[in-house]
Amino acid sequence: MSKTVQTFQRVKTEMAHSMVRTMYQPGEIEAKWQARWAEEDYGVARDDDPRPKFYNLVMLPYPSGDLHIGHWYNYTGADIFGRFTRMRGYNVMQPIGFDAFGLPAENAAIKRNIQPRTWTLDNIENMRRQLRKMGAGWDWSREIVSCLPDYYLWTQWLFLQFYKHDLAYRTKAPANWCPSCNTTLANEQVVGGACERCHTPVERREIDQWLMRITKYADELLRFDGLDWPEKTRVMQTNWIGKSEGAEVRFVAHIPGKRRKNPATGKFVIEPEERVEIPVFTTRPDTIYGVTFFVLAPEHPLVERLTTPKQRKAVQAYIEQARHETEIDRLSTDAARPKTGVALGTFVTNPVSGEQVPIWIADYVLMGYGTGAVMGVPAHDQRDFEFARMFNLPIKQVIRDGDEPLTDPETWEHALTAHGAMVNSGQFDGAPPDQAISKVIEWMEHKKVGRAATTYRLRDWLVSRQRYWGAPIPIVYCPEHGAVPVPEDQLPVRLPDEANFKPTGESPLRYDPSFLHTTCPICGEPATRETDTLDTFICSSWYFLRYADAHNDNAAWAPDKVAKWLPVDRYIGGAEHAVMHLLYARFFVKALRDMGWLNFDEPFIKLYHQGTVLGPDGVKMSKSRGNVIAPDAVVERYGADAVRAFLMFMGPFDQGGPWNNQGIEGVRRYLNRVWALVTETLDESGSDHHVVNGASQDGATPTAAERGIERLRHRMIARVTDDYAEMRFNTALAGLMEFVNGLNKAREESPAITQTPTFRAAIETLLTLLAPMTPHIAEELWHMLGHTESVHDQSWPAYDPALTVAETITLIVQVNGKLRDKLEAAPDIAEDEVRALALASPKAQAALDGRPAKKVIYVPGRLVNIVG
């Protein structure tokens, strides 16, 4: 009968007498410690703590009602890192709050006939409960709820600061309109022509909208100096901003004069032509001699005036068709759909070559990018090439293909888009590839027909939403004074607690007389309020600043508090926010810095994206698939510690992985073994009936078994510390498992070992290393060992590299790179000796098969490779 089995029998007998003592019951201990930590303000970060600060932030959750397993994943990793960092001597601030405004609340409210406010606040209450059950070190004293007036007052105040500095403005412009959500959307919220939230194809609407001038910061937003961000995210932001360098060239068009009756003479006269300049943006001014046609976006304002009477009907039909089809066609996967377009019947003059080319409209030219006009260079642009082929327009080669002789472009299958020397280009002929662009720009600037120019894909951020559940935009419209900002001392502009929802496409606030009607802050005459509300991304663009000073009634934050805590040291959240939240927040910080409110450039120094937890079937969780894991149920069954540990054990933290119901059983079994290891050895050391002599006493020479345990302890500290620091939680837990396996094996081999200080030290180290990952069981067992302070207040254990070195090493003997034998040796064995031993190995000799060893490679401490 093995020792462990005997122990188990004894434990089983004892269970009858004291169940509480011997059974691991996560439900009980987790509730107990959570209550204790709350009482003792474990998570509360003090501003006056002298230790170095560490701002450990997770992305603000939306209170959808239930904490998703994905939240658990994100927050567990963040919490482990936070607890670990705290034990390493930092004053860690790890706040939590709620991004509480937004469409889902309003949609749910309409569906269930309850008010968004009630729905949201109820959800928050439930999520607070769920968040507490994680056993995370949240600083609840700094909680923010973005839909409450003490928060949105400052959201409104910030809007006014942006307005004051001309970074918020109102304009009438074509906006993305979601007919299902009944509101306009920012460009970032339109994915593939459809609403990001409900996937309804968006429409274009001309409405007065509020925008934030994020484009002013386009260049600075392209710089990521000093930021430790995933390459992927930086690339996504860079592509989103989409900086293109090239030239703006002004082509000249002549609007035909109208035939008109002179009222004085009664005779018909032809008015003189009107000369208009139409700028185009191009990245390839070196191809300007290859222009054979000119294309305007169908929405271009000059289209109507540049259309000849003969073409009018066809043009109008095309514009109508483009308006209807564009968004739907964008959704189709057929990216290579044939080019369409209509000629206007008029011409433009190429200001460099002097040639006249026809003007067309085509939907491949977008009004929203560049100038909404394009010079058609079919030989050197694939789209223009396809367009020319479709309408039999001439193709003219003006760039050489390296040293290849010129060929007839009409025979080509693709445009030649590579750079090369200029040809067929008048005075520019022969300009080499690296100078071609600059020479043409220089010439155009000299002749004043064009200039170097830069264009961005990034548009200003549209922030008006025609919905109720958001922060009201603090603006009043006065018949006399126009748009007037609400004076700061009159903030907040309170959102009425209730709203009457009507599917009108206008904010419900418009139908609330008590909200709508007010007086002009300037003249006191009757006026109306802005009834649009702010995009919720505004709320989440500054919450990390508010956490530093969450309850300040006099300011959005006190400068010294923000200076103490910001910027965020580590920000952990989903990659789906790469071009929205993360870009907006950077913009906010830069703008506020320029206004003098902040003195740093970037909000988030280190950014980390956790992976996605998939359903047990390996597919993204969704209600319709029925593969959703509800945290409450698994926590109930296995305990929060097991859920935390299993989530981290699934795979690398940035990769996520499938949930596995057997997998969590395994982790739970591990925690049972930890419990057994500690409680059983505690029994043995704490009572006298099992004490066996033979273990070393203090001061005596350690036995081999003790040296082995001490080596294991130091190795595990080294390994787990590195893994936590790099957020490799899966391998950290594998190490912690090996630690327990090693201790159990030692215990089985020499039961007396458990009485030694060495073993006791190993157990204490195990609990400290477990503390960040499974905080409750670590705390409970720590106290069982007789400690009165929290395990979470211990400093992180140190290790001695010298003590991690093995007493004997295994040297691999290879012949021609293949494993043939193994040698046990002392770590400091001499090279000569190793070579001799390896060559003498019968197995190596057999593999050599009589051939002489040409060469012997020795990698100290690892292997010998005999080349024969």
Partner RNA sequence: GCCGAUGUGGCGGAAUGGUAUACGCGGUGGUCUCAAAAACCACUGCCCUCACGGGCUUAAGGGUUCGAGUCCCUUCAUCGGCACCA
- Could you say which residues in the range 436-475 bind RNA, by CB under 7 A? 455, 457
Other Cβ atoms less than 10 A from the Cβ of 864: the count is 25
**Do residues 750 and 708 touch, judged by C-beta distance below 8 A?**
no
Per-residue contact flags (x/-) with RNA for residues 175 to 194, judged by CB under 7 A: ----------------xx--
Residue 814 is a binding residue for RNA (CB under 7 A):
yes
Residue 867 is a binding residue for RNA (CB under 7 A):
yes
CA–CA gap between residue 797 and residue 768 (Å, rounded): 7
Q: How far is the CB of 365 from RNA (least distance, A)?
A: 4
Residue 573 is a binding residue for RNA (CB under 7 A):
no
Nearer to RNA, 84 or 659 (CB): 659
Residue 672 is a binding residue for RNA (CB under 7 A):
yes
CA–CA gap between residue 224 and residue 201 (Å, rounded): 34
Residue 351 is a binding residue for RNA (CB under 7 A):
no
Q: How far is the CB of 740 from RNA (least distance, A)?
A: 8
Q: How many residues bind RNA (CB under 7 A)?
A: 91
CA–CA gap between residue 167 and residue 758 (Å, rounded): 65
Nearer to RNA, 335 or 633 (CB): 335
**Do residues 422 and 399 touch, judged by C-beta distance below 8 A?**
yes
Among positions 575, 605, 803, 805, the unique one binding RNA when judged by CB under 7 A = 575
Distance of CA 195 to the CA centre of its chain: 20
Residue 863 is a binding residue for RNA (CB under 7 A):
yes
Per-residue contact flags (x/-) with RNA for residues 282 to 321, judged by CB under 7 A: xxx------------x------------------------
Residue 478 is a binding residue for RNA (CB under 7 A):
no
**Do residues 672 and 24 touch, judged by C-beta distance below 8 A?**
yes
Residue 522 is a binding residue for RNA (CB under 7 A):
no
Residue 840 is a binding residue for RNA (CB under 7 A):
no
CA atoms within 13 A on the CB side of 431: 24
Region of 88-96, 521-529, 625-633, 815-823 interacting with RNA (CB under 7 A): 815-823
**Coil, strand or helix: which one is 323?**
helix
Q: How far is the CB of 672 from RNA (least distance, A)?
A: 6
Among positions 99, 139, 299, 363, the unique one binding RNA when judged by CB under 7 A = 363
Residue 696 is a binding residue for RNA (CB under 7 A):
no
**Do residues 309 and 259 touch, judged by C-beta distance below 8 A?**
no
Q: How far is the CB of 311 from RNA (least distance, A)?
A: 21
Among positions 273, 817, 836, 840, the unique one binding RNA when judged by CB under 7 A = 817
CA–CA gap between residue 654 and residue 659 (Å, rounded): 15
Nearer to RNA, 273 or 726 (CB): 726
Residue 670 is a binding residue for RNA (CB under 7 A):
yes
Region of 15-23, 375-383, 522-530, 774-782 interacting with RNA (CB under 7 A): 375-383
CA–CA gap between residue 853 and residue 864 (Å, rounded): 12
Q: How far is the CB of 366 from RNA (least distance, A)?
A: 4
**Do residues 491 and 514 touch, judged by C-beta distance below 8 A?**
no
Where would I find the H helices in 134-249?
149-164, 218-221, 231-241
CA–CA gap between residue 494 and residue 283 (Å, rounded): 49
Q: How far is the CB of 836 from RNA (least distance, A)?
A: 18
Q: How far is the CB of 861 from RNA (least distance, A)?
A: 8
Please choose, from the candidates 212, 188, 120, the residue with its C-alpha nearest in 3D space to the C-alpha of residue 464. 212
CA–CA gap between residue 814 and residue 373 (Å, rounded): 69
**Do residues 535 and 178 touch, judged by C-beta distance below 8 A?**
no
Q: What angle do CA 571, 572, 578 make, to 5 degrees?
A: 85
Other Cβ atoms less than 10 A from the Cβ of 832: the count is 9
Nearer to RNA, 384 or 535 (CB): 384
Region of 113-121, 425-433, 465-473, 650-658 interacting with RNA (CB under 7 A): 650-658
CA–CA gap between residue 83 and residue 791 (Å, rounded): 11
Nearer to RNA, 375 or 495 (CB): 375
Residue 237 is a binding residue for RNA (CB under 7 A):
no
Q: Measuring CA to CA, how many Å separate 469 from each of 106, 118, 249, 745?
A: 6, 12, 46, 61
Q: How far is the CB of 415 from RNA (least distance, A)?
A: 11
What are the contacts of 745-749 at 24+ separation with CB within 8 A? 746/705, 746/708, 746/709, 746/712, 747/3, 747/4, 747/677, 747/681, 748/2, 748/3, 748/4, 749/705
**Do residues 782 and 709 touch, judged by C-beta distance below 8 A?**
no
Q: How far is the CB of 472 from RNA (least distance, A)?
A: 30
Determine the length of the chain: 868
Region of 13-21, 241-249, 399-407, 520-528 interacting with RNA (CB under 7 A): 241-249
CA–CA gap between residue 160 and residue 154 (Å, rounded): 10
Sequence-ordered list of residues with C-beta below 8 angstroms from that of 534, at least 6 positions apart, any chain: 155, 159, 210, 463, 464, 465, 470, 471, 472, 473
DSSP run (H or E) holding 172:
strand 168-178
CA–CA gap between residue 577 and residue 584 (Å, rounded): 10
Q: What angle do CA 606, 612, 615 make, to 5 degrees?
A: 165
Q: How far is the CB of 386 from RNA (least distance, A)?
A: 7
Nearer to RNA, 623 or 855 (CB): 855
Region of 38-46, 405-413, 648-656, 794-802 interacting with RNA (CB under 7 A): 648-656
Among positions 65, 433, 521, 651, the unique one binding RNA when judged by CB under 7 A = 651
Looking at residues 736 to 775 of the shown chain, list those that interact with RNA (rule: CB under 7 A).
737-738, 741, 744, 748
Q: How far is the CB of 657 from RNA (least distance, A)?
A: 4
Looking at residues 773 to 812 of the shown chain, list those that interact with RNA (rule: CB under 7 A).
810, 812
Looking at residues 704 to 733 of the shown chain, list those that interact with RNA (rule: CB under 7 A).
728, 730-731, 733
Residue 673 is a binding residue for RNA (CB under 7 A):
yes
Among positions 819, 826, 830, 840, the unique one binding RNA when judged by CB under 7 A = 819
Q: How far is the CB of 726 from RNA (least distance, A)?
A: 9
Which residues is 145 bridged to in the sheet?
98
Show the tokens assigned to 696. Answer: 């070393």
Q: How far is the CB of 751 from RNA (least distance, A)?
A: 14
* Phi and psi angles of residue 552, each rounded to the nearest 5 degrees, phi first: -75, 120
Among positions 31, 423, 628, 734, the unique one binding RNA when judged by CB under 7 A = 734
DSSP run (H or E) holding 440:
helix 433-447
Nearer to RNA, 540 or 841 (CB): 841
Looking at residues 204 to 233 of the shown chain, list those that interact with RNA (rule: CB under 7 A).
231-232
Q: How far is the CB of 846 from RNA (least distance, A)?
A: 7
**Coil, strand or helix: which one is 804?**
helix
DSSP run (H or E) holding 270:
strand 268-270
Nearer to RNA, 57 or 866 (CB): 866
Nearer to RNA, 4 or 118 (CB): 4
Q: How far is the CB of 677 from RNA (least distance, A)?
A: 10
Residue 816 is a binding residue for RNA (CB under 7 A):
yes
Residue 662 is a binding residue for RNA (CB under 7 A):
yes
Residue 381 is a binding residue for RNA (CB under 7 A):
yes
Q: How far is the CB of 675 from RNA (least distance, A)?
A: 11
Residue 390 is a binding residue for RNA (CB under 7 A):
no
Token pair 């429409």 is found at: 203
CA atoms within 13 A on the CB side of 324: 5
Say if strands 53-58 and 91-93 run parallel, antiparallel, or are unpaired.
parallel
Nearer to RNA, 478 or 767 (CB): 767
**Coil, strand or helix: which one is 528?**
strand
Region of 100-108, 588-596, 784-792, 816-824 interacting with RNA (CB under 7 A): 816-824
